[in-house]
Amino acid sequence: MIPFSPPRIDDLVIAEVVDALRSGWITTGPKVAKFEKMLADYCNISNVLCLNSNSAGMELMLRWFGVQAGDEVILPAYTYTATANVIVHCGAKPVMVDVNDDFNINVENIRKAITSRTKVIMPVDIAGFPCDYDEINSLVKEEAVRKMFSPNTQEQRALGRILVLSDAAHSIGAKYKGKRTGALTDITVFSFHAVKNLTTAEGGAVCLNLPEPFNCQELYKQLRTKSLHGQSKDALAKSQIGNWRYDVTEAGFKCNMTDILAAIGLVELPRYDSEMLARRKQIFDAYSAAFSQNSQFQVPVYETIIKTSSYHVYPLRIKGISEAQRDEIMKRIFEQEVCVNVHFIPLPMLSFYKNSGYCIDNYPVTYDNYSREISLPVYFDLTDEQVDTVIQTVIQAVTK
């Protein structure tokens, strides 16, 4: 069987995790601090906060910005449910917009969706391909759009415009005009979930890249406290002799990353570009070389003059088929013991959002992308032979 996306776990990873276990310090401590520094250097920014998930990171930042009932947050209809759920948790309204043929949020649709209640835009780099960041970043700075912005909190007043919070769950290592994700928007949130390119089993990170007057170093400290119940000292600081007394400054959350998890990232990140991204690119290139020979297939765009994907998901589309035909093709592929997937079932098609009044008919490109899409296996240990097996299996399933 060819699985869809198993993690890369080798002796180096195991040794570093064992090192954390043997050190006697297993929760947030020196390994998390080192991983945060490494991530900041990788993204070429000054401050990164590691947490236990991308979802926790996105919610923490929406709450920090003061997003609440009565507010609107714009996101693509085509994403994983986490992006929308965190908006709902804050009591705000997810405003879903249709996407482009490249699966990413459409900037003109964002423009049409902006109202005086819009507080945040959450672009998602679907499959690892960066969104149109120059256009999104200039849109929120346009005079007319700024004028419409009505701040309710100190943070919103300080920014004076809509916040751009990108969901980069798929796109660590992707590049836009030479810069890596993390340095492209005000705030970027990565996921290190088990199926993601760079995993720590579960985990996430918030990249801080806010303009003046924000001080990202100060904000990092504030958010760290916010992620630890608002407690003035973390467990490591409290464990120092005589340093037991603490205070609580707000009713914070509990979503810190542990040193056991950071250990995996400490091994993965230094070899991420040269090994993980390099191998994933080879697999993408092999798929595209094979499928572009046949006019029934539509291969994804993952590299342009200004954008380079992180090669997270290979979203193949088949031309002129229905959703039911796609499902049938997937069944045939599974019968040959090749695991494939669909990224994603659009949010308006999920019961919770459907019952909240969203309707897929309003998102024709989203539906078209979804209904013809099959995500193929991509992972470090996938061999060239297995890549060939996947290609032959897919071609047979489609032509049969």
Q: Taking CB under 6 A as the criterion, which residues in 173-232 touch ligand PLP?
A: 191, 193, 204
Identified binder of ligand PLP from the candidate list 167, 234, 259, 268, rule CB under 6 A: 167
Q: Which helix (H) or strand (E) holds 97?
A: strand 93-97
Task: Report if residue 53 touches ligand PLP, rule: CB under 6 A.
Answer: yes
Closest CA to 133 of 190, 62, 186: 186
> How many chain residues touch ligand PLP (CB under 6 A)?
14
**Cβ count near 364 (within 10 Å):** 10
What one-character-per-residue DSSP string does 59-126 give? HHHHHHTT--TT-EEEEESSS-HHHHHHHHHTTPEEEEE-B-TTSSBPHHHHHHH--TTEEEE--B-G
Q: Which is nearer to ligand PLP, 204 or 348 (CB)?
A: 204
Q: Which is nearer to ligand PLP, 110 or 391 (CB)?
A: 110
- Nearest approach, Cβ of residue 193 and ligand PLP (Å): 4
Stretch that binds ligand PLP, among 26-34, 164-172, 250-258, 294-302 (CB under 6 A): 164-172
Task: Report if residue 45 touches ligand PLP, rule: CB under 6 A.
Answer: no
Q: Which helix (H) or strand (E) holds 118?
A: strand 118-121
Calculate helix-pair angle for 54-64, 216-226, nearest 10 degrees. Answer: 110
**Cβ count near 45 (within 10 Å):** 19
CA distances from 320 to 302, 325, 371 (A): 22, 10, 10
Residue 331 CA, distance from chain mean position: 28
β 187-191/163-168 pair status? parallel
- Nearest approach, Cβ of residue 181 and ligand PLP (Å): 13
- Nearest approach, Cβ of residue 123 and ligand PLP (Å): 11
Q: Taking CB under 6 A as the criterion, which residues in 120-149 touch ligand PLP?
A: 124
Angle at 258 between CA 254 and CA 263, to 5 degrees: 155
182 token code pair: 């993390």
377 token code pair: 């296996």
Identified binder of ligand PLP from the candidate list 54, 166, 258, 310, rule CB under 6 A: 54
64 to 103: interface string for ligand PLP, x by CB under 6 A = ---------------xx-xx--------------------
Q: Taking CB under 6 A as the criterion, which residues in 261-300 touch ligand PLP?
A: none
- Nearest approach, Cβ of residue 373 and ligand PLP (Å): 14
- Nearest approach, Cβ of residue 57 and ligand PLP (Å): 8
Stretch that binds ligand PLP, among 52-60, 92-100, 252-260, 360-368 (CB under 6 A): 52-60
**Cβ count near 54 (within 10 Å):** 27
- Nearest approach, Cβ of residue 50 and ligand PLP (Å): 11
Catalog residues that contact ligand PLP under the rule CB under 6 A: 53-55, 79-80, 82-83, 124, 167, 169-170, 191, 193, 204
